[in-house]
């Protein structure tokens, strides 16, 4: 389709400056089509976070090209590029303020309705409403008064309120139980149609229903396909599945 949110990796290699020159990503080629959910799986250190960090240009490919909506990201104004996407980092960053301020951070013009829809999709609305002050409840420093899974859901809500074309979840549901994680994915399918979603995960259940899954191993793309096809012919995927 001609929808927005397409991402192409073309022969992308990457090494960190001062990283002794070893390649963290080696000749990676794959595409995320508009509206697709693409899972990224691989053992710790395989390069998953580095891979998605190339999309908003946290750093640039050493070789090859990353394209968003068909355009080389190096040719786009970084501000415009980043407006298209929302990234939920591995470690959630909540600040002292209300729940509402935390969700609307970076999108202060969002209405209460938009904020609530984002919180509903992130499966955060119910636990927010259960606290005495609801959206006006104070978030303690670093979010200490919320559980790990609740903090992750608040940061997913913060990402969704920006209405991105591209949503990148970097292991952002690791502390959320599988049933709630499934509800988040169902809500995204229902209310955020057309959203391209990259889902980094440690557990297979998080990605098994993705349109396709990219398997990384020591910086190499060693498999790409659906859960069923990878179970058949990707050894690394089979090993993750059995572990
Ligand atoms: P987990 O988050 O642990 O699941 O790993 P990952 O698959 O996301 O791998 P990641 O992209 O974080 O790391 C890939 C390789 O790059 C590892 O060998 C890291 O040690 C290395 N690395 C990650 N971040 C940096 C950095 O900022 N500087 C340098 N020099 N190396 C880094």
Both tokens of 209, joined, read 């229903």
45 lines ligand 1 (CB under 6 A): yes
List pLDDT tens digits, range 67-124: 999 999 999 999 999 999 999 998 888 888 999 999 999 888 999 999 999 999 999 9
58 lines ligand 1 (CB under 6 A): no
Among 41-45, 186-190, 192-196, 220-224, which range has the highest average pLDDT?
220-224
142-161 mean pLDDT = 89
**Residues 41 and 238 sit within 8 Å (Cβ to Cβ):** no
Same fold, 1-84+165-243 and 91-163: yes
> Would you call 13 exposed, middle or buried from its count of C-beta atoms within 10 A (0-12, 13-18, 19+)?
middle
| CB-CB neighbours of 228 under 10 Å | 8
Give the pLDDT band (50/70/90) at residue 233: very high
Strands 63-68 and 7-14: antiparallel
72 CA from centroid of ligand 1 (Å): 24
Residue 1 pLDDT: 45
139 CA from centroid of ligand 1 (Å): 30
Fold exhibited by the domain 1-84+165-243? Rossmann fold (3.40.50)
Fold exhibited by the domain 91-163? Rossmann fold (3.40.50)
- The domain locations on the chain are 1-84+165-243, 91-163
Name the nearest CA neighbour of 222 among 236, 212, 208: 236
SS3 62: coil
Q: Report the nearest-CA residue for atom 30 of ligand 1.
A: 19
206 CA from centroid of ligand 1 (Å): 21
Could you give the CA distance from residue 108 to residue 112 in angstroms, rounded to a whole number? Answer: 10
Residue of 233 and 2 predicted with greater confidence: 233
196 lines ligand 1 (CB under 6 A): no
Residue 27: in which H helix or E strand, if any? strand 25-32
């Amino acid at each position: 389709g001609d929808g927005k949110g397409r991402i192409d990796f073309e022969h992308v290699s990457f090494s960190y400056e001062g990283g002794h020159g070893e390649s963290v990503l080696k000749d990676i080629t794959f595409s995320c089509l508009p509206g697709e959910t693409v899972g990224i799986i691989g053992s710790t250190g395989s390069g998953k976070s580095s891979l998605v960090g190339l999309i908003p240009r946290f750093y640039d490919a050493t070789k090859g090209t990353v394209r968003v909506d068909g355009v080389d990201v190096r040719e786009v104004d970084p501000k415009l590029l980043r407006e298209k996407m929302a990234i939920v980092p591995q470690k959630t960053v909540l600040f002292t303020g209300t729940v509402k301020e935390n969700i609307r951070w970076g999108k202060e013009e969002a209405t209460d309705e938009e904020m609530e829809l984002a919180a509903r999709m992130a499966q955060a609305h119910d636990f927010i409403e259960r606290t005495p002050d609801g959206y006006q409840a104070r978030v303690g420093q670093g979010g200490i008064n919320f559980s790990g899974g609740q903090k992750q859901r608040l940061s997913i809500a913060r990402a969704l309120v920006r209405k991105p074309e591209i949503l990148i979840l970097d292991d952002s549901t690791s502390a959320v139980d599988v049933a709630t994680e499934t509800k988040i994915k169902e809500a995204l399918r229902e209310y955020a149609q057309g959203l391209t979603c990259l889902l980094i995960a440690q557990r297979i259940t998080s990605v098994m229903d993705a349109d396709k899954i990219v398997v990384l191993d020591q910086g190499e793309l060693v498999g790409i396909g659906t859960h069923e096809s990878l179970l058949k012919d990707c050894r690394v995927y089979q090993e993750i599945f059995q572990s």
